[in-house]
């Protein structure tokens, strides 16, 4: 199902039948990124994501999203199956392996091919911090919860600076 959309990517929640678990997949339109002159910026962000993901894999800091694999495909995910902003769950909220009435999407025509980069990632069960806060009563949390979240953010920033000399300017 469709989760969110940014300037250059869309993010979906998917079922990985090999691991029997939900994952997130981000899909970037490489041709769109190149046409806007942002190829180097997006490339740098991908490199940083891979570096920060290594901190999770090596049990140094769990406060980053784990990237599992990156691959390319000539086709964009079909909204009829993966969803979109207007219809987030076109095939329902849960994966059902035994649905015999589900048709596979048609393969797009050659003229509709593009270059899409798919990134398999850990699915964060609570979403991002903004989504989490919006779901809370009165969109607020207790002081103790705020301290826990602030510690996680501060620790992640510390580890990124310590291990990779990174700084976050937002």
Give residue 100's pLDDT.
Answer: 53
Q: Which residue has the higher pLDDT, 100 or 107?
A: 107
Q: Is the pLDDT of residue 164 over 90?
A: yes
* pTM of the shown model: 0.82
Give residue 80's pLDDT.
Answer: 87
Mean pLDDT confidence for 66-95: 89
State what percent of residues in the chain have pLDDT above 70: 94
Give residue 99's pLDDT.
Answer: 60
- Tokens 């850990």 sit on residue: 122
Q: CB under 8 Å, gap of 24 or more: what pairs does 32-38 form? A: 32/8, 33/8, 38/8
Q: Which residue has the higher pLDDT, 163 or 109?
A: 163
**What whole-number distance in Å separates Cα of residue 43 and Cα of residue 55?**
19
Q: What pLDDT digit, counting tens, does each position of 101-152 carry? A: 567 777 777 777 889 999 999 998 888 888 888 899 988 899 999 999 999 9
**What whole-number distance in Å separates Cα of residue 58 and Cα of residue 136?**
33
Mean per-residue pLDDT over the chain, rounded: 88
Give residue 43's pLDDT.
Answer: 86
Banded pLDDT at 92 (limits 50, 70, 90) = confident
Give residue 8's pLDDT.
Answer: 86
């Amino acid at each position: 199902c469709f989760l969110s959309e940014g300037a250059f990517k869309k993010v979906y929640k998917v079922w990985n039948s090999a691991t029997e678990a939900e994952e997130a997949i981000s899909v970037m339109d490489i041709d769109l990124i190149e046409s806007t002159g942002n190829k180097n910026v997006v490339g740098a962000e991908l490199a940083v994501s891979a570096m920060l993901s290594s901190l999770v894999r090596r049990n140094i800091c769990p406060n980053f999203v784990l990237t599992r694999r990156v691959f390319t495909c000539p086709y964009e995910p079909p909204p009829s199956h993966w969803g979109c902003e207007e219809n987030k769950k076109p095939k329902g909220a849960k994966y059902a392996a035994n649905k015999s009435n589900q048709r596979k999407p048609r393969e797009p025509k050659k003229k509709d091919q593009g270059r899409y980069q798919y990134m398999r990632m850990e699915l964060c069960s609570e979403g991002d911090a903004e989504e989490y806060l919006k779901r809370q009563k009165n969109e607020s949390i207790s002081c103790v919860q705020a301290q826990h979240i602030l510690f996680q953010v501060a620790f992640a920033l510390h580890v990124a600076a310590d291990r990779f000399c990174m700084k976050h300017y937002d």
